[in-house]
């Protein structure tokens, strides 16, 4: 699979990333069965064999079980750790953590960032995380405290590079002003049904500052791959139907899956968007992997953008 550099770092990986949030097959850790663990391991191995070399995690995915399942894969597949990059995220705390009555919240305190990182390292069974990201903006964030935690983790050799997730341009700029190391990635929701980052300055900032935008939900939860259709009572049904027709037309013309077209649409942007593919179905994973070699023309790109917006550009 073709490769890219993450931001201004020396991290090099596949143009498509593999999202590991579904590896446990559930969000509830006490619902994870041996069968689900085995299926999660098989999915991660299938992605690796297809050429995916960046694996995206978060400490909250099934309360850490997804990271643990991936750690089992690393023990099983000889040489895999040396050939891949591991990304994970911190900063979200569930209700009841650490005591009953505690609310669901965000936490960028230095203590929590460091403790979360150490927990992820332990579950993954590795000594270093390649890319460590803050999951969702903390309203009580003290940038200097985050910078202190990042510096501590980097100096200890526990993290190579740092980034953020779901940050607005102003939030990223504020944190970067204080952090002594570059923030190399911003993981955001972006797809043909969620185009706001093209208009709110997020992608402009990534392009200007050499930050890699990593796209979560690049297929809009399966809708863009044709797996889930728009309901007739959906107020956006007509727009989604037109977009589906446009995707289908390019898919037939190019001889690839609709998923590949939707992912290639993201990759075509000059900011270097890296889609994060999260399916655990091997067939759908192979379909998605076609996007690594698919380069859409400018006409194809704008045809899809117009269909996504439901109107011609101004």
At how many degrees (to 10) do helices 298-309 and 237-254 cross? Answer: 160
Under 8 Å between Cβ of 156 and 178: no
CA neighbor of 183 nearest in space, from 4, 8, 65: 8
Asked if residue 98 has a cis previous peptide bond (ω within 30° of 0), the answer is yes
CA neighbor of 91 nearest in space, from 78, 104, 108: 108
Residues 208, 299, 275, 286: is their CA dihedral positive or negative? Answer: negative
Q: Which of 18, 61, 106, 302 is catalytic?
A: 61
Where helices occur in 221-294 by DSSP H, the ranges are 237-254, 258-267, 282-289
48 is catalytic: no
Query: What's the token pair of residue 178?
Result: 């204080």
Distance (Å, whole) CA 237 – CA 250 = 20
CA distance readout (Å), 93 to 29, 97, 118, 156, 256: 15, 7, 15, 24, 40
Bridge partners of 293? none
CB-neighbour burial class of residue 183 (10 A; exposed 0-12, middle 13-18, buried 19+):
buried
Residues whose CB is less than 8 angstroms from the CB of residue 293 and which lie 6 or more positions away in sequence, other chains included = 2
Determine what percent of the chain falls in helix, strand and coil, rounding each to the nearest 5.
Answer: 45, 15, 40
Distance (Å, whole) CA 96 – CA 154 = 30
Query: What's the token pair of residue 148?
Result: 């202190």
- Annotated active-site positions, please? 61
């Amino acid at each position: 699979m073709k490769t890219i550099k993450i931001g201004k770092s020396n991290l090099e990986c596949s143009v498509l990333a593999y999202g590991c949030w579904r590896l446990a097959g559930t969000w509830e850790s006490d619902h994870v069965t041996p069968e689900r663990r085995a299926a999660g391991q098989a999915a991660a191995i299938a992605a690796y064999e297809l050429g995916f070399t960046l694996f995206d995690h978060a400490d909250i995915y099934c309360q850490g079980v997804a990271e643990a399942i991936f750690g089992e894969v690393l023990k099983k597949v000889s040489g895999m750790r040396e050939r891949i990059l591991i990304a994970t995220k911190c900063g979200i705390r569930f209700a009841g953590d650490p005591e009953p009555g505690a609310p669901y919240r965000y936490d960028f305190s230095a203590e929590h960032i460091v403790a979360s990182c150490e927990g992820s390292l332990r579950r993954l069974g590795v000594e270093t995380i390649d890319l460590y990201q803050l999951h969702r903006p903390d309203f009580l964030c003290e940038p200097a405290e985050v910078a202190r935690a990042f510096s501590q983790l980097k100096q200890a050799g526990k993290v190579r590079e740092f980034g953020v997730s779901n940050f607005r341009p102003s939030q990223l700029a504020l944190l970067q002003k204080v952090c002594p190391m570059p923030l190399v990635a911003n993981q955001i929701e972006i797809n043909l049904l969620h185009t706001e980052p093209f208009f709110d300055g997020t992608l402009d900032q990534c392009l200007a500052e050499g930050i890699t935008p990593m796209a979560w939900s690049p297929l809009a939860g399966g809708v863009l791959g044709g797996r889930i259709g728009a309901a007739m009572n959906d107020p956006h049904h007509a727009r989604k139907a037109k977009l589906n027709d446009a995707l289908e037309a390019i898919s037939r013309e190019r001889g690839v899956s609709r998923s590949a077209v939707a992912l290639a649409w993201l990759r075509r942007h000059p900011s270097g968007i890296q889609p994060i593919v999260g399916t655990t179905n091997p067939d759908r994973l192979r379909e998605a992997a076609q996007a690594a070699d698919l380069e859409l023309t400018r006409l194809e790109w704008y045809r899809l953008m117009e269909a996504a917006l439901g109107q011609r550009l101004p």
